């Protein structure tokens, strides 16, 4: 009796040593991997010039432009992945060089299989901009504004002087 059971246990446990005929776990490794695979977007807020081209071409209106508190280059794209059809036209029209600001080629493919989605917000590509970057940009903007003002004042004074000289 016990021998029978042991035999069965031995027979079944042999499966532990046999190599699986499956070679790939496609949840983590693709059967066919290509650098052009159109997956999740990466957005570079530092190089983005805020031209709105990706938003305009998007055939499904998956892109919304997030407003930033700057005077220039004050919008940056955010993508709703549950609306996006991954056509890649946004990457095509992005004018920044040499690296495009919005890229989906080579993006992650495990959006459904990976189990990383907790709620609807996970299907968004949000742009998280650190406060330090915002402060930096604002400071730079303020500095240029002050500089411009100073220049304008100087010019005005110069003109004024010239006029007085003529008079």
* Residues that bind another protein in the complex, under the rule CB under 8 A: 31-32, 34, 36-38, 57-59, 85-89, 92, 105
Q: How far is CA 138 from CA 45, 57, 116, 144, in A?
A: 15, 30, 35, 10
d(CA 141, CA 134): 10
Identity of the residue, 65 or 87, whose beta carbon is nearer to another protein in the bound complex = 87
Closest contact distance (angstroms) between CB of 22 and another protein is 15
Residues ≥6 apart with Cβ < 8 Å to 72: 50, 141
d(CA 163, CA 59): 58
Identity of the residue, 30 or 151, whose beta carbon is nearer to another protein in the bound complex = 30
Identity of the residue, 48 or 54, whose beta carbon is nearer to another protein in the bound complex = 54
Return the closest-CA partner of residue 78 out of 68, 87, 70. 68
Closest contact distance (angstroms) between CB of 106 and another protein is 9
Closest contact distance (angstroms) between CB of 54 and another protein is 11
Closest contact distance (angstroms) between CB of 81 and another protein is 15
- The structure tokens listed for 39 are 């997956």
Identity of the residue, 75 or 87, whose beta carbon is nearer to another protein in the bound complex = 87
């Amino acid at each position: 009796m016990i021998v029978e059971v042991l035999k069965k246990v031995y027979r079944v446990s042999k499966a532990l040593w046999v190599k699986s005929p499956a070679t790939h776990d496609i949840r983590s490794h693709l059967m066919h991997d290509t650098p052009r695979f159109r997956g999740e977007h990466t957005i570079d807020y530092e190089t983005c010039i805020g031209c709105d081209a990706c938003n305009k071409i998007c055939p499904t209106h998956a892109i919304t432009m997030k407003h930033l508190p700057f005077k220039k280059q004050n919008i940056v794209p955010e993508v709703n992945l549950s609306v996006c059809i991954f056509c890649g036209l946004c990457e095509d029209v992005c004018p920044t060089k040499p690296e495009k600001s919005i890229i989906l080629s080579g993006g992650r493919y495990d959006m459904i299989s990976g189990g990383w989605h907790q709620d609807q917000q996970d299907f968004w590509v949000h742009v998280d901009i650190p406060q330090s970057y915002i402060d930096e940009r604002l400071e730079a903007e303020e500095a240029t504004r002050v500089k411009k003002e100073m220049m304008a004042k100087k010019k005005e004074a110069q003109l004024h002087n010239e006029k007085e000289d003529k008079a």
